[in-house]
Amino acid sequence: MAIDRNLIEEEGCLHRFYKIVLGWDYIRLLKESSKNTAKEKDLGLKQVKDTYKDVDDYLATFEPLLFEEVKAQIIQGKDEEEETEWKMGIVVQCHETDGFHLLELFGEDWGSVSQNDLLLLSKEKFGDDKKRPTAYAFALVEHRLPDKLRLRMHLDGEIKRVDTNEVTTSKTLLKVRSRIMEQKVSWHMMKICSLSTIAREYVAMRSISSLPYKDLILKAADSIHNSEDQAWRISKPLMEYIQTNHNTTQLEAIRAGLSRRKFVLIQGPPGTGKTQTILGLLSAILHATPARIHTKGKISEIKRGPDLHIEDKKKQWLNASPWLTGINPRDAKMPKDGDDGFFPTTGNELKPEVVNSSRKYRVRVLVCAPSNSALDEIVLRLLSTGIRDENDRSYTPKIVRIGLKAHHSVQAVSMDYLVEQKLAGMDFQTADKQKQGGGARDRDTIRASIMDESAIVFSTLSFSGSSLFTKLNRNFDIVVIDEAAQAVEPATLVPLASGCKQVFLVGDPVQLPATVISPVAEKFGYSMSLFKRFQQAGYPVQMLKTQYRMHPEIRSFPSKEFYDGELEDGLDVKDRTKRLWHKYRCFGPFCFFDIHEGKETQPSGSGSWENVDEVDFVLLMYHKLVSSYPELKSSSRLAIISPYRYQVKLFRTKFKEKFGVDSEKVVDINTVDGFQGREKDVAIFSCVRASKERGIGFVADFRRMNVGITRARASVLVVGSADALRKDEHWKNLITSAEERNCLFKVSKPYADFFSDDSLASMAAEEAALDGLGPDDMDPDALGYDLPIEADQAPPDDDYGDDIGGGDDGGMDD
Residue selected from 152, 246, 388, 624 as contacting ligand ATP according to rule CB under 6 A? 246
247 binds ligand ATP (CB under 6 A): yes
Question: Coil, strand or helix: which one is 552?
Answer: helix
Q: What does DSSP assign to residue 324?
A: -
Number of residues that bind ligand ATP (CB under 6 A): 15
Pick 153 or 281: Cβ nearer ligand ATP: 281
Nearest approach, Cβ of residue 676 and ligand ATP (Å): 8
Shortest separation between residue 270's beta carbon and ligand ATP, angstroms: 4
The full length of the chain comes to 814
Position 89 contacts ligand ATP (CB under 6 A): no
Does the footprint of ligand ATP cover residue 160 (CB under 6 A)? Answer: no
62/48 Cα distance (integer angstroms): 7
d(CA 593, CA 743): 8
Q: How far is the CB of 180 from ligand ATP (least distance, A)?
A: 51
Question: Which DSSP letter does residue 246 get?
Answer: S
State which residue has the least CB distance to ligand ATP. 273
Return the half-sphere exposure (C-beta side, CA atoms, 13 A cut-off) of residue 623.
28
**CB closer to ligand ATP out of 573 and 690:** 573
Q: Please, what is the minimum distance in Å from the beta carbon of residue 246 to ligand ATP?
A: 5
Give the distance, in angstroms, between the CA of residue 407 and the centroid of all CA atoms in the same chain: 13
CB of 231 to ligand ATP, least distance (A): 23
Nearest to 607 by CA among 657, 647, 575, 634: 647
Burial letters 543-574, b for 16+ CB under 10 A, else e:
bbbbbbbbbbbbbbbbbebbbeeebbbbeebb
Choose between 492 and 647: whose C-beta lies nearer to ligand ATP. 492
Q: How far apart are CA 11 and CA 429, in angstroms?
A: 38
Quick one: which of 64, 107, 268, 805 contacts ligand ATP (CB under 6 A)? 268
Nearer to ligand ATP, 341 or 811 (CB): 341
Q: How far is the CB of 432 from ligand ATP (least distance, A)?
A: 45
Burial class (CB in 10 A: 0-12, 13-18, 19+), 39: exposed
| Residue 598 touching ligand ATP (CB under 6 A) | no
In the three-class reduction of DSSP (H, G, I as helix; E, B as strand; rest coil), residue 745 is classed as strand
Residue among 101 and 549 whose Cβ is closer to ligand ATP: 549
Torsion angle (degrees, nearest 10) of CA 798, 801, 806, 807 = -90
Given 677, 720, 788, 805, the residue binding ligand ATP (CB under 6 A): 677
Which among 593, 695, 658, 665 is positioned nearest to 801, based on CA atoms? 658
276 binds ligand ATP (CB under 6 A): yes
Amino acid at site 465? G
Task: Identify which of residues 232 and 342 has a Cβ nearer to ligand ATP in the complex.
Answer: 342
- Three-state SS at 316: helix
Q: How far is the CB of 380 from ligand ATP (least distance, A)?
A: 11
Stretch that binds ligand ATP, among 274-282, 290-298, 414-422, 555-563 (CB under 6 A): 274-282
The distance of closest approach from Cβ of residue 553 to ligand ATP in the complex, given in angstroms and rounded to an integer, is 18
Question: Does a cis peptide bond (omega within 30 degrees of 0) precede residue 750?
Answer: yes
Rounded Cα distance, 219 and 241, in Å: 37
Q: Does 563 bind ligand ATP (CB under 6 A)?
A: no
> For residue 151, what is the enclosing H or E element?
strand 148-153
Nearest residue (CB) to ligand ATP, 97 versus 244: 244
3-class SS at 138?
strand
Bridge partners (DSSP) listed for residue 490: none
CA-wise closest residue to 655 among 782, 811, 784, 760: 811
Nearest CB to ligand ATP, comparing residues 485 and 621: 485
The residue range among 26-34, 222-230, 264-272, 471-479 that interacts with ligand ATP, by the rule CB under 6 A, is 264-272
**C-alpha span between 639 and 632 (Å, rounded):** 10
Q: Which of 271, 370, 403, 509 is in the footprint of ligand ATP by CB under 6 A?
A: 271
At residue 252's C-alpha, the angle toward residues 226 and 400, to 5°, is 85
Instruction: Tell whether residue 250 is a contact of ligand ATP (CB under 6 A).
Output: yes
Contact 273, 250 (CB under 8 A): yes
Which segment (71-79, 268-276, 409-417, 659-667) binds ligand ATP by CB under 6 A? 268-276
**Could you tell me the smallest distance in angstroms from the CB atom of residue 710 to ligand ATP?**
8
Does position 110 interact with ligand ATP (CB under 6 A)? The reply is no
Q: Which of 270, 386, 495, 788 binds ligand ATP (CB under 6 A)?
A: 270
Rule CB under 6 A: choose which of 18, 548, 609, 685 binds ligand ATP: 548
The CA distance from 485 to 369, in Å, is 10
The correct pick among 64, 89, 107, 273 for binding ligand ATP (CB under 6 A) is: 273
The least CB distance from residue 273 to ligand ATP, in Å, is 3
Phi-psi region of 297 (alpha: psi -120 to 50; beta: other; left: phi over 0): left
97 half-sphere exposure, CB direction, 13 A CA radius: 6
Segment interacting with ligand ATP (CB under 6 A) among 245-253, 393-401, 439-447, 766-774: 245-253
Q: Interface with ligand ATP includes 23 (CB under 6 A)?
A: no
At its nearest, how many Å lie between ligand ATP and the CB of residue 383? Answer: 14
Select the residue interacting with ligand ATP from 207, 249, 275, 542 (CB under 6 A).
275
User: CB of 591: closest distance to ligand ATP in angstroms?
Assistant: 22
Q: What are the residues binding ligand ATP (CB under 6 A)?
A: 246-247, 250, 268, 270-276, 548-549, 570, 677
